[in-house]
Structure formats: structure tokens, C-alpha cells
Structure 1
Amino acid sequence: MKVWQIVGDGGIDALEQADRPSPAPGPGQVAVRVRANSINYRDLNAVRAPGRVGIAFPRIPNSDGAGDVTAVGAGVTGLAVGDRVAGCFFQDWAAGGISAAAMASALGGPIDGMLAEEVVLNAHGVVPVPDHLDYAEAATLPCAALTAWNGLVVSGDLKAGETVLLLGTGGVSIFALQFCALMGARAIVTSKSDGKLDRARGMGAWRTVNYADTPDWAGAVREMTGGAGVDHVVEVGGGGTLEQSIEAVRVGGHIAMIGVLTQGAVNPIPILRKSIRLHGIYVGSRAMFLDMNAAIAAGGLKPVIDRRFAFADAPAAYRCMEAAGHFGKIVIDFDGRT
């Protein structure tokens, strides 16, 4: 089978296509023919600076993929050859709270990921995919969608009528926008692109802010909310945006801390004075994934795919992510659709 693997610290240029033997499932495992991957910023970082995140060579990248079960190992129940499944970001986080052991089972980091024609996964590390989604759409769910779901619905306890601030229009933020619509919440979206803000409004965003035109976007958000601030922030920017997110959230509000795209120092005093709940989110468990998929199926939600690349063009998909011009998700389609 063919795989893409990280073989050195040379960034995207150090990705190498290679042949490996087809893997066979052991007890408690399933073999999956992968039909699509999606790329997250975390995957790009792993490719660009593998040494900095402790990746051993060679390593197959990417946490997110979907495909068909082709074989089941001894003791596996509830799964059969032909089932359409997506892999779980953490292969050993079935339910409950996260643990160090679960974190050590992240695909495309401590263990080989999904950018391969065939993979072996734990039976408790896959989920059935909603019937209305194709493989490329299903491949977008394991990291970005589940992170947004955990940050808003599980950890944030999102309620209808609440207001949510979403930073940017990447994968997590666009899924969060769709979940807001599904849950009856109001979303405020930021971007430096008026075109992307137009698309966000077309998807149901209540208000939008161009942060290039309005550097004090926190002030604009507070004005939109009558001075109170938002109930939730999906914070993907990191240190460079967190202080404004703290200003934009209401007293007693919730910030789901998800990304670290920018650097900066943060004064913790406003967090204390406003009794803000700042919650670090690192994807989610299999149980959360199942609940999210039930909601996606019931609501007929369709992931937003910006671009599709063929398996042979995988390096170009990372360069597309690096350019940061996408709206929604970037997909590698193993069946060759672009």
C-alpha cells in the first residue's frame, strides 16, 4: 500500500511517498481502507516542525480520515466488513475525562496517522459515519468538528438563544457556526475578509466583524450585545487574541481555548474579576463523537469543504493550509476527486 510519511525536519518538502506492507488487524482492532483525509492546523505543524512536537521518523501524518472496514480482529463486536467509519483522533479515549494515556494515542503524532491507503485502528477508536455524508465529508469530523462540539455543547453547555463569538473561518470555527445554527444560538464571526464574512452570513451568522477594519473587535462585539458581552467564545487565535476574547465575553461567560495561531502575553486579572470559565479543549472522546454524529444526522448538517486534493497531491494540500486562505476544511480525496 502507499503512504505519505514525514522523514525529516525539512517541512512539507520532507514528505515522502512510500510503500509499506498492508497491515492486518490484531485482537480488538479493525483494518480500514481509507477513502479520504482532512487536514488540520495541527497536522500542518507536525509536518513543518516534527522535531518540535516530538515526532519520530518515519511518521504517517494526519489525524482525520474515513473509509471502509476491510477486516476485523478477534474479539471485535459491533463492526463488520463494509461498514463506513471514521477514525477517532484519540485511539484510546472512549469516554470520560481525558488522560495522559489517551493523549499518547493521538493519530498522526505519537502514533501513525491516516495518510495511508490502509490503516489498522482500535475497534473502540472508530465510529460509524452519518449516512448522508460522503467519505470526504465524514473525514472532516474527527478533529475540527468534535473540537467545536466539545467546546460549545459538552464543555460549554450551549443553550438556544445564547450568543457565541467565533474567531476566523477555519475548520473549527465553521463547524461551530453550524452547531450554533443547529442549537438555536446566535453567532458573531470575525475575519479580515469581507468575502468570507459574506459567506458566514449566508450560513446564518447573526453579526460579523472585519478585524482588519475594526482592530478593537472586542469593543464592537460588546456593542452588538448591548454592552453585556457574549456567552461563549471559540478562541482559536491564542495569546494574540485572548485578551480581546476576555474583554468580549460576559461576566461569568465561557471561553473554549482551542488554538494557538498567534503569540502574546495575557493578563489573568480580568479572568478573575469577570469569573470567566476558561477551558482548554483538546478534541474529544469517542462518546462525544457518537453524540455529535447523532446531532449531525438528525440535522442533516453538511461539512463545508473548501478544496479537495488527490492523494498524489498531498503536499499541495498542506501548502493550501499554510496559505491560510481556506473557508472550512481542506480534504485529500483518495478516490481522486478534486
Structure 2
Amino acid sequence: MKTEDFDYQLPAHLIAQTPLMKRSDSRLLVLDRKEQALAHARFYELGNYLRAGDLLIFNDSRVIPARLFGEKEGTGGVVEILLLRPLDNPVHFEVLAKPGRRIKTGQRIRFGDGALTGTIIGEGEDGIRHIAFDTEPRMWDTLLETLGEMPLPPYIHEHLEDRTRYQTVYAREKGSAAAPTAGLHFTEELLASLAAQGVERAFVTLHVGLGTFRPVQVEDVENHTMHAEWFRVPAETKRAIEKAKAEGRRVICVGTTSVRTIESAWRDYGTVAEDGSIQGFTDIFIHPNEPLRVTEGLITNFHLPQSTLMMLVAALIGRERLLEAYRVAVAMEYRFFSFGDAMLIL
């Protein structure tokens, strides 16, 4: 299975640059696996395709303003830092640094004209660095909100006026470097409507980092290594999934990050904490040769060509059906990627 097997042609004008005025007005491509049929709807019509007892799994991770711009002490060279995850200290982070080759251990970096400084304390591959910020943990959130920028993907060139539009309405656990974008289509009104319909919901957390969006750079898909991301499945969510499975009800994930989270928990990634939750780090890579064990349905956006996200979706519906659905979406001029339209697979 080759990486190029997951390629497709996308006209640049179909890459959504800004969110719609109303989240749930986005289009919805519905793929019925049993009937092998496609239908076209709006996201606010999601309830027409769900039934009482369906269990939706949401990732409640909240995006932090994880992009920092600074300068190297001594040279004044511009540095860009993307926070990936905290280390053993709340102000020590694993980061993606640019230009990575020129940022070495011991280098001090100033942010915001010196309002924040940090020192590189470790180096990894491909621009991965460890940085220790010179601040008290109690001051960190305030400094980050002041100096940090929302880490929009590089294919979005428009300025985001409202930061909340790159957050889901149910986001609560701070830690992601990118949004779990399938959830961006939900409004409070739609969530209430689905609940009234008898659709159940439960939450997991996966803090989105490089594992989700790093490109595949190997020819053979199975040689790709995912970057580990932190996840948590609360005890009540685990029980809700087990109950739904036992009763023959559908478990439908909202987004590929929710898929990776519950599939990781069911494959013994992480450990059981004192509160009964399953948590830890996962580098799970789901693709057609690594089938799903728990997920039976998926709400997802349209993803970049040759990405691990496409490969994950193909594990649910097969590569050829996925590419055919993408061809239809392109022909019908759906909007693609983070602020784009959605697909429902049942």
C-alpha cells in the first residue's frame, strides 16, 4: 500500500479560507456503507441520518494559541515556535521550531520584546526541540494568551477575525495545537436537537499535535511513524461505549481524533488512572491494513491528499470508495479542509 495511492486532485479554490457565517450551514456528504450510496445534505440536517440510541463520541480538546514568534538572542534571527505538548514541567514544552536546523541546544529566544524568554534544552529530528520558558507556571496562561497566535494550518491564508471559530462549542480541555475540525460544524442548538431526538453523547480528549497532521514522507504507508499525542478516555465514556456495543447501538465518532482515542484505549495504549479513566500517549496509526475495532460511524471533514487522516477514513470504507467520494465532492464543489464541509459515514 503506497502513499501515492491516497492522492487526488483538488482545485485551489475549493480550499476553504474562512468559516461560514453559521457553523451548521456547511454541506454534508452522506455515505451509506450498506447501500453503497451517496446523498447530499446540510449539516443541520444531521439528525435525519441518526437514530435514538446512537452514541456520538466528541473530542473536547481546546486549541491553545500555540504559535509564538520570537528572535534569537545574539543574532536577532526570527524564530517560529509551535507548542506541541508540555514535558515534565508545566513551562517546559516539546515544540516544532523553524528554522529548526539553526536552533541549537543552549539557544535563548525572546518573545514579545522580552516579555517572555526561553532556552532550548534538547533537540529531536525534523525541527523538534525542547524549550524551557523562564516564567512561573501561574503566569503561563496569561502570557500565552497575550503573545501566542492561533495555529491555523498553512493552507489558510486569510486572517481569522474571531478566535472562537477555530474552537468547537464544547471545547474545554486546553492543549491542542490544531482544532479537531469535524466538531466545528456543531452548534448548541444542533446538540440540543440531537439530544431531544435520543442521540447520546460522550467525550474523550486527544490533544492534537504532529501525530494528526504531519505529512507521510515514506513511499510505503506502513513504514510511517506517528508522533505521540496525549489522550484520555473518561471512565463514564468507556462504560457508555461498552453499553452501546452490548446493546447493538452504533458508536459514531466525531472526527478522526475521536477515532484514534477510543481505538487506542481498546488496544491498551495508556494506563488506567485512579479515577478509572484510560490515559497516556498514543502513536496509533490506523489505515486499511489496521482495521477499526470500536468505531462504526464517522463524521469527518475532507482531508489533505496522502495524509494519515485519509488513510484512517479508508480503514472504515476502503480506499476506492473514499477516493470516489472525494471525486464527487470535488465535482460538486464542496469546501475542503479545516473550515470546509463534512462527510458522514454510516
TM-score tier by shorter-chain length is: under 0.3
Greater relative CO (CA pairs within 8 A, separation 6+)? 2
Q: TM-score, normalised by structure 1?
A: 0.26
Q: TM-score, normalised by structure 2?
A: 0.26
